[in-house]
Each structure stands twice: as C-alpha cells, then as structure tokens.
Chains A and B, each alone.
Chain A
Amino acid sequence: MAVAPARDIDPFTVEIVKDSLVAIGDEMFVALQRTSKSTIIYEVLDFASGLTDARGQLITQGNGVTGFLGTLTFAVSYTLEKFGADGLAPGDVIITNDPYTGGGTHLSDVSLVVPIFYEDELVAFSASKAHWTEVGGKDPGSWTTDATEVFQEGLQFPCVKLYEAGRPVQGLIDLIEANVRLPDMTLGDMHAQAASLRLGERRFHELCDKYGVDVVLGSVEALLDYGERMTRLELARLPKGVYEAEDTIDDDGIGNGPFPVRVKVAISDDEFVCDFTGTHPQVPGPVNCTLTGLHSGVRTIFKAVTDPHIPVNEGCFRPLKVICPPGTIFTAARPAPVSTYWETMEYVTDLVWKALAPVVADRLPAGHFLSVCGVVVAGLHPDTRDLFLLVEPQAGGWGAARHRDGQQGLMCVGDGETYVIPIEIAEARYGILVDQYALDPTDAGAGRHRGGRGCVRDYRAVADEIYLTATFGRHKFVPWGVDGGSAGSRNEVRIFHEDGREVVLGKCARYRLVKDEVARLVTGTGGGWGDPRERPVEEVIDDVRNGYVSLEQARAEYGVILDPDTFEVVRLERSES
C-alpha cells in the first residue's frame, strides 16, 4: 500500500483524489441502478447518489434526472440539524422523505443518509435519493393528480434512523412493509439504496487508507473551491443586471387556478440572486413544490447558464442565492399535497430561463413544452389477464435558439436522461395499440428559427377497459417565443370516445376508456426565435415540403405563399422586399 507523501499535498495527488471522489459518486449511482428492483430506478434513472463533506456540502453526485440536482445536500444538512454530529454513529442509516424540511420533494422520493467516520471522526456523508415505486397512500404508485393533503400521498419518514450502529430498526421496517402495496419491491429498493451508500463509505475509507485522511479532506476542499472558481469564471461572463419574468401555471388538477408566478434575477459580479417574491400562495391540489424542489429547479438552470460540464458540487452553487417567502406554490408548507410537485418545479427553472434567454442567447433557447407530461395507463392485459401499469414521460418540442431551429421530440428539462417507451414494447406489454407516433404539425413556433415540433402519440385500448391518469402542464399557457418568434403550442390529452365524443384535457385521474377508444397524447411545439418573415424563403419551402410547416402557416406567419402542388413561390408578403 502506497503511503501519502509527508510533504504538502502535491497538485497531482489533489487532481487524482478529486477525480477519485467524482468516480465514487458515479460508482454509487451504477451500483444502485444495478441492484434496484424498480424500473423507475433502473430504467428511468429517477434517482441520485453522492457524497457530501462533514458539513453536508455536496462533494460529488451522479444523477439521472436534473430535477435531483443538488438535493442531497438538503437531506444531509437536515440530518445534521436534527441529530447533530454527536447524535450519529458509524453504521447509522437515516431515512427521510419529508417534503417540508430538508431534502424532501414528494413522498415517493426517499433519501437515505449514511454518516462516514474515519478513525472515530465524522468526515463525510454518503447519501442518495430515489423514487420508490410504492410508498402507500390512497392510490397505487402513491403519486396522484387529485390529492388534497399529504396524508393521502403515502408514508412520511420524518428523518429517522433506519439502522442504528449497523443494526436495522426492525419495527420501522415492519411498519413500512405493512403500509405499502408492493413490499417486496419497496424493501428491495431500500436495501439496494443502503448498499450503494455503504459502497460509497467503503470507497471513501479506501481513499483515506491510501492517501491519508488529511490529504483526502484537503482534496475535498480543493474540489469545492475548484467548482466555485470554475463557476465564478463563467459567472463573470454573464451580463450584469436585473432581469424579470412572469408566467402562469394552469391549475392544480382539482379545479383551482390559474396561478401567477414570477422571478427577479439579479446578476452581479459575485452573486446570482433569484427572487420569487410575488409568486402565488400554495394551492389545494397536489402541484405544490417545496423548498428543496425550488432549489433544485434553480440549480438546474444556474448550471445551464454557467457551465454544465463542470462536475457538480457545492462550490459551484456558492455564488447562488434563492429568495422566496414561505407558503407559496414554490415553498408550500405542511400539510399541502405535493405529489405532482415536478410540474411546478419545472416552472422555477423555466422562469429564470425566460428572464435570461434574451441576454444569455448563446446558452438558452426559447421556451419548450416544459411539462413531463406524465402518463399512467392501467388495466388488465387481454392475453394474460395480469394487471399492467404503463408509466412514462412524453417527449416534446424545444424552443428555437438564436442560431438554429429547436430540437424535436426530446424530454423536458427536468427529466434529463430518461426515455420514452418504444412502440414495440408498449404494444407487447400493455393492453394498447399505438395508432401513430409522429411529430405534431400544429401551426405554432414560427420564427427566423422555428421551434422544434412536439409529438403526437395515440393509444388505442385493446383491453376491455383501461384507466388513464395524466398530468400535462402548459395546457393553457403555451411555450414562449423570443425576439419576435411566435409562441409554441399547448400540451394536451384528447380522448376519442366510441360514441363520437371528443374530450380535451390537461390533467385527469383514472379516466376510463373502453376497448377501441383512443387517447391522443399531444406535446407542445417549442417557441420560435426572431421574426418569421426573416426566415429565408428556401428554408420555408423545405419546411413545407418536409411537413414541418403547413401551407397556411407559411402564408400567415412567414409571408410565403406557395403553390400547393409544386411548392413554387406564388407570392411573398414580406415588408422588406
């Protein structure tokens, strides 16, 4: 075993230890992915794991969805606040999902925290947060669009010990087992999560054994300072000033709304302050977001405008300040329901984005479809009679950028690296047929650069009956354009009933469709950038040929009148010519 050099830490060792710390975060992430029993963890990657220092400052984090960015810090800080360093012992595992104190978002997202001791000294924490498929509550899968208080949404773990000094707290585990619908899966995920934290602990110990604990802790400081230094260099390149944005959240899923939200972003030489004062108070339905989600939402966009390539750690966020009074839709208090908090967290990110897009044009495109467009389809499979449960996000259109058209058919910002379910798999596994999966050509998103197209996906019931739960935000207030670009189009669910009735909605809970009825899932087209009449005529002709722009939109918004058969220009209606 190599021994740490006695002299001061040399710059190369610091680099190597820094990289090793980042690799530990990645390894913990892969370990949980590999051992989890829930598809939402090992396929959708709806989890994060990493290390913090002894004060709870994030050292490194691996995550699949951007919505978890930086949330581990809050779970650890609250653990420290509640137990104190003296109240923690080697072998402890702490469990928390409390949305209103540190680290919680909705009850399905459960954080575990392991204090890491080296030679009797608390030196770090490993922590992870994962979406458990089942935490009890009034509906299967726990999250729902019509809860009215948190008690309907599942079990609450108010930052308590799951293991004490290496021994499981069996009473708590039995209690969990008795209160969830799929105990095998839930407890399996719990053990997998704990095991990945122990792995992080072991790797941290190995690092201390090899380089010496002082060298490792010195490197941790260097890593945090490095994140801060790199971020400040980027911050210096941002335009100084105060930028404001307002928007509106559709509704809360149970008939209330709309809700105005707003931000004021102040960028100075050494600070980036987001002030959400003036945002609507918390609401009766489950779209409320709490403090941790607010911070994650801001951190996501802050990372995007500084440098997303800098490995994430607490140092990166030192210049960032978030201000918001308590009791708003972004800072809801107990017992507000929170199960679809992500719809509102997306607005946190989008507000700052909207405020800055005109002035940080090299990094931010126009508004995108924004909503996760979460869908749950449940029913009995016609072949096996087994219960099936399709849970998926939808892909949609992104906004145009200053120098290019928007991306088509991508996940929304908060969903990060997640995937749609392939048609073949959807049809084989669930009691549905996919009649079409196409880009949606609704007239929207025109501009010098046009917004990327959303998608349209038709689910036809093959089972005798299926039940659809959907939460499509931005159903009433569409993605924004920039610099004269048109707004995008809305997200919507359109139901075609047997008797010819057509129902259009943004949110629904357990909506019944019978065999051969169709649910059409439509995601928005992103906003455009710049005056559509400045888009070169040849590009408009190509768009029409390719089906991205209709003849009517070409005429009305781009001022290009084309022959419907030959696509030759009949007339231009543009001021400059």
Chain B
Amino acid sequence: MRLRRTRAPALPAVKPQQLMSILLGRVRATHPGVDIRAIERAYTVAARLHAGQRRKNGDPYIIHPITVATIVAEIGMSAETVCAALLHATVEDTDYSLACLREEFGDVVAHLVEGVTKLDKIKIKSGTDVPIVTQREKVLAIASDPRILVLKLADRLHNMRTIRFLPAATQALKARETLEVFAPLAQQLSIATTIKRELEDLATNVLYPELGDQRHRTAPERALAASVLLLPSAHRARWVEEWAGELSVLSTRRARARFALHMLRGIPRLALALRQPVTCDAHRPVSTIVEKLAGVLGVIGAFLMALIRWELAAWTVAAMVLGGLVLLGAVLFARSDAPANRLRALVRTWRDPVSTARSSRDLHDRSDPSEPEAPRE
C-alpha cells in the first residue's frame, strides 16, 4: 500500500490549519483516545518559531513539519514522535534551544529532535571515495533509536516530493544520497517499507528521468536499464550510471551491442556477487540479526530468517517446496484411494482421538479387518 499523499504543499490554497486537521485525523485513526493536546501545542510552538520562513517553492515553512508529522502518523508512530516531527527543525533553524524544548515537551521529544538535528549535521558524501556502507553506519550510529531514523526518513520523503524546486545539481546529489544511503536504511525498518518504495521511485525519477521515457534510448541502454532490476536495489543506480559511461565511449553500434549482450549474460552473476553477505553491505545488519536468531532458534530459525530477508532466494525455495508438494500429492493420491483413506483416518484420530479409538475398537471387535476404520457415509 502506498502512503496516502498529504495534500500537495505546492498548492497555495492549502492552509497549515487544514493540514493540521488532516494530521490530527490520522493520529486519531491510528491511536484512538490519544491526548492530542501535546500535538496541538507542538504545532503552535513550531508555527510561531517558523513564522516568516518559507520553503523553496514559496510555501510557509510550517507546511513541511506538518507533512513530515503526517507521514509519521500514517505509519502509526506515537504522539511523542508526531510532536518531534512537528518540532524537528526548530532547534536547527530557529533560536529555540534544546533545553527549552525539553522543558516544554519532555525528555522523549527532546531526545528525538536532538537526534534528527545531529543527523542533519553529518555530511553525507554520496558518489565519492567514502564507501556507502561507512556513510550508512554513520547515520545508524546517531539514529540508534529507530524513531529518529523514521523521522529522518519522513523528512527526506517530503523533501524528495518537493525536490523539483531545487537546482538540478542539488537534485541529483540528494537523489543519489536517497538511493544509496536512506532507502536501504528504510528497508531495515519493516514499518517504513512504503517510505522506502516511494523514496526509491522519487530518486530514480530525478536521476534517470529517461527510465520513464524509453523512446530516446538505444537498444543496449534499454536492455541494461531493464536488467538491473535483478540487482539489489541499493546497487542499481551505480551500475546503470557506470555502464552508461562505458557505452558512451564505445564508438561503434556493434561494440555497444556486444557490451550490453555480454553484460546481460553476466547480470545474474553480478547479482549473486552483490548479494553475498561479504559483498552486500546493505544486508550486513541483517546478518547480525540472523546470527542472534541462530543462537535462539538454532540453524533452522536462522535459515528461515535469512530466506525471509532475502526475497529472491525465499521465492525460489518456496516455489521448489510447493512444486515438490504438488508432485508428492500427485504421486500419492493419483494412483489409488488407499493413501487418501489413510490420511482421512489420521486426521480423524488427530481431531477426536477418543471416539476414533472407540470406533476402531468397535471395528476390531467386529473382526472385519478388510473394512477401513472410517465409517462410510
């Protein structure tokens, strides 16, 4: 399910109060009976502090925190997290201090806003020599509380929705950051999967607008752009860009076609190389979860967990198991009725052991072994 879009902030007719009533509606829907006075107070304080500030598209700034809070409320986060979303930019962008915030809204909200403020200060250097995994770890080190990560992801999501108002170079930078750092982090939070999908869609639209319009692409580019879908999502952008660079320096159409054709054959191998635990940095935190599970549930639990997190393998194995069951069923039941009768008897015994035992004893007393245990209907 996609997140319902909050009303487009680009529309000048939308007033902050209207957005607030939508937000409060969402909060009441996900947490019936919750005290919304703190949220209203957070809105009043944020609106006062951001008064006069504007977004790049000309909207009053307060629209942004309200939308972020709505995204957060839609995925069912608590009232405290919604308050923190409304106040998330106050400490950084206004003269409101963290101490004041703590005094007015308590330790939890202050802790969340502090986390988001710290996250905003770290410099993410996408597309540079700094490995992506290091950058993700930097974010995770600060966002030790998953609520902070949710707030940051919601903030990024609204910024990506309104990215068209930024200069082209900044758009590309933010989109790359989103694909390489934030979308993979969103994947780790099961509640944030809808956010992850929308982040990826928006970022891909910025970086590869031509993916939506295939008419102007050459056949090799089209083929490669389609086949990268086999790769883990965090790696796709890099490889599409890298191959586009290589194709651009190949002079003949034949050389480009050969490059693409060989690459198409190698993509499954590349996908495997990227998905291996040691290579696939996106899955590294998962492997630690798997290790923990292995300790608790043993090898089978860890194996199942690994399969669940690694969808491709999970689907393959599920298809194989299902196929095996169908074959087994066909072999067992197609040839004679005996296995089916036996199964029926087993099910009866399992559901009602007492009466089945009695009926089988009766049958036994009648000393008629040729008759099956289950009475005919």
Genuine A/B complex: no
Binding site for A on B (CB under 8 A): none
